[in-house]
Chains A and B, each alone.
Chain A
Amino acid sequence: MNKYIVILLMFFSTLSVADTLYITLEKDNALAIVDGESGKLLKTVPLGQRPRGLAFSKDQAYLYVAASDDDTIQILDAVTLKVVGHLPSGDDPELFKIHPNGLWLYVSNEDDNKVTVIDLQKKTAIAEIAVGVEPEGIAISQDGQWVVNTSETTNMVHWIDPQEQQVKENTLVDPRPRAAEFSVDGQWLFVSSEIAGSLSRIDVSSKQVSAKLHFKVAGVNDELIQPVGVLAHPNNELLFVALGPANRVAVVDIKTMTVKKYLLVGQRVWNLAFSPDMKRLYTTNGASNDISIIDVDKLKVTKSVRVGHYPWGIAVKAESGDSSSAGSMKLKPAKP
């Protein structure tokens, strides 16, 4: 009898939602498509030059990919993965995010010190917002009230009001801020600072830094601890931070701002994404040309998969076609 229960349990444990990973390969000018559950590389599709950030449209019909060296965002049909159009992204697009209204896409233009807002229906730029030197990360609060942009050389977080498409406030953070991520309840904004090796927690209501965490990994030089990608768990308790050349992902308790665990992944870990069922966390590891797959419940690295040269961005699509996708460019899973 017990045998049957075990078999039954095994059946359920493998019955997670199937998902597909879309990973930009910066040096291959291509998109790797990987089955999330088996970790199998399914195929590779050619893209424009130096593809980096990517995200699905709200209805999952299109996949947008920033082709940085082509100065454009390519629009791919999400099913055929053929290029069906372009967006006027401005020069050197790297990171972008889509507003919860599904209509506005915010992209940072590193060379021009501005953020461009693109209307996804009209496929035209509707606003250019002057920000600090070398704008990088973009984050959008789930309620759509705030769009934030980090500028790497100015060392600030710029708070953009999407109704007016204007900078309303600025917060000074540690040197070379990279990624930004709102907590799922919208109370906090987390910002990683690559050169300082720190994570700032900013109170969204006051726009002031309320807590700061400096990462320390035993046996790793402080200089190599360079936090980049940041991803919030929907449980509003955990935050995952990619530490670049420290080859670790830090699991951070957001209340106490302490590190629960460091997970050893591939080299120069960059961006992060969850599987739609929240069972797995995926990391792109630029220098080792692979992705790592982490069991989110056990906080254990289970697998690494070679995908191509310099994997950079990652977007995840549920095979059931629900609206969750993740990664540096993800849309948040809907609130329960």
Chain B
Amino acid sequence: MRHILLILRFIGYIACSIACFSSSVYADNLAVDMAFLTEKMSHPAALSNLDPVLSDAGVQGAILATKDNNTTGMFTGHHYELKRVDVLVGEDVVSEFNQLVADGYQYVVADVQTVTLKKLSVIAKANNVLLFNVSSTDGELRNESCSTNTFHIIPSDEMKADALAQLMLKKRWTKWFLVKGTDHEDLRFTKAIKRSAARFGIKLVEEKTWSFDHDARRTAQAEIPVFTQGADYDVMLVADVKGLFGEYLTMNTWRPRPVIGTQGLVPTAWHRTHERWGAVQMQNRFYKQAGRWMNDIDYSAWLAVRAIGEAVTRSNSVQLDDVKKFMLSDQFSLAGFKGVKLTFRQWNQQLRQPILLAMPRAIVSVLPHKEFLHPRTYLDTLGYDEPESTCRL
């Protein structure tokens, strides 16, 4: 077992001694201990070596948010610490989580698989721990497997698929050719895509499974034109979550059509080209710290830790019950560089947020557009709405 402990001690104490003269309305020196738990996964052989495999995805966002919280803490007398725990492939995440619970950690940000999160949610509920899901996009966690102490920060597959469908509907590109991979994540994304297509009146005119297992770099030019023949369509929708073949569809299709989905135009929580609504400052701060661009898990981890900070600051309490109650109240709102306030859906504790639709070097659009109406907030046109949700908290 390799157990990485990274205790982040910031200048909080020193700074506090400078600034605490002003913190009369705040209880001095309230400490908030948080943990970031990563379940390491085995990576499939990559299609290309373009993107490095990250060893610090997510935790960098949590570190940055801890710093940000501590800057606020200078003025409020609150102090935040983050403990990092990496669980290697094949090791037991549950026992590590139990150890955190035993050590008194009540706020755990989790970058783990769906199956693991389900197990941790049960323990979290039993031990009065708040769990923040920053990586699993599985709709099941927001429905039948939801849990009262689990908050979902990262957008679900359904939220992403709805964003894609909304833009396609606006563009009237409503005939889709679906190409899907074979692993369970591809099938899950496919399910979300089909749900969105039905919701927004989009027709799947063709559906094919990519099961070729040779190196796409050598054969894309020859195979893909043949593979993509069939009924006429407006856009090709690809479901290839791990990136095993999707990148090679663009410009190799039989018909001259754009590619969207997991490659081409992608729905995402964050993107390196996003710069509106103050996002430039966030990009700069993150890059300076991590030496790379922020991804969806980093962004979600940043939001999770900031949500804790915001609730602690506003409720002026580190008690879990107060923090949770505040997060779910109407008073809670989080600024996430997306031009609107981010809040939690009370029925499944998913963070409401706009979705970016991005090409590799540009943001194409930010969804939902305000024309998609909803009685509560237009953000609820993405993902499982209250009447559709099977979550019962």
Contacts and interface: CB of A to CB of B under 8 A. Distances in A.
Interface of A: 92, 110-111, 113, 130, 132-134, 152-156, 158, 167-170, 172, 174-176, 194-197, 221-224, 226, 245
A154 B72 contact: yes
B2 interface: no
Contact of B22 (A169, A176, A197): A169
Contacts of B333: 174-175, 195-196
20 contacts: A92-B281, A92-B284, A111-B285, A130-B74, A132-B72, A154-B72, A154-B75, A155-B72, A155-B310, A168-B22, A170-B19, A170-B76, A172-B313, A174-B333, A175-B335, A195-B333, A221-B377, A223-B341, A223-B370, A245-B339
A111 B284 contact: yes
Contacts of B306: 153
Interface of B: 15, 19, 22-23, 68, 71-72, 74-76, 278, 281, 284-285, 288, 306, 310, 313-314, 333-335, 339-341, 370, 377-379
A223 B72 contact: no
Contacts of B378: 221, 223
B91 to A, nearest CB: 36
Main secondary structure of the interface of A (DSSP, over half): loop
Contacts, number: 78
A156 B339 CA distance: 19
A15 B44 CA distance: 77
A126 B72 CA distance: 24
Contacts of B72: 132-133, 153-156
A152 B335 contact: yes
A170 B21 CA distance: 10
Contacts of A111: 281, 284-285, 288
Nearest to A224: B370
Contacts of A92: 281, 284
Task: Choose among A113, A154, A224 the residue with the greatest number of B CB atoms under 10 Å from its CB.
Answer: A154
A152 B340 contact: no
Contacts of A167: 19, 22, 75
B22 A170 contact: yes
B75 A132 contact: yes
Main secondary structure of the interface of B (DSSP, over half): helix
Contact of A156 (B68, B75, B284, B370): B75
A153 B313 contact: no
Nearest to B379: A223
A-B pairs, top 4 by smallest CB distance, nearest first, are A223-B340, A154-B72, A170-B75, A195-B341
Contacts of B340: 195, 223
Contact of A153 (B22, B23, B68, B341): B68
A153 B69 CA distance: 9
A32 B193 CA distance: 48
A70 to B, nearest CB: 15
Contacts of A222: 377
B340 to A, nearest CB: 4
A158 B23 CA distance: 12
A88 B339 CA distance: 31
Nearest to A174: B333
B206 to A, nearest CB: 37
Contact of A221 (B22, B76, B284, B370): B370
A155 B313 CA distance: 10
Contacts of A197: 341
Contact of B68 (A130, A133, A176, A196): A133
Contacts of A174: 333
Contact of A130 (B15, B23, B284, B310): B15
A175 B278 CA distance: 13
Contacts of A132: 71-72, 75
A175 B334 contact: yes
A223 B71 contact: no
Contacts of B22: 167-170
Contact of B281 (A110, A224, A226): A110
Contacts of B310: 155, 175
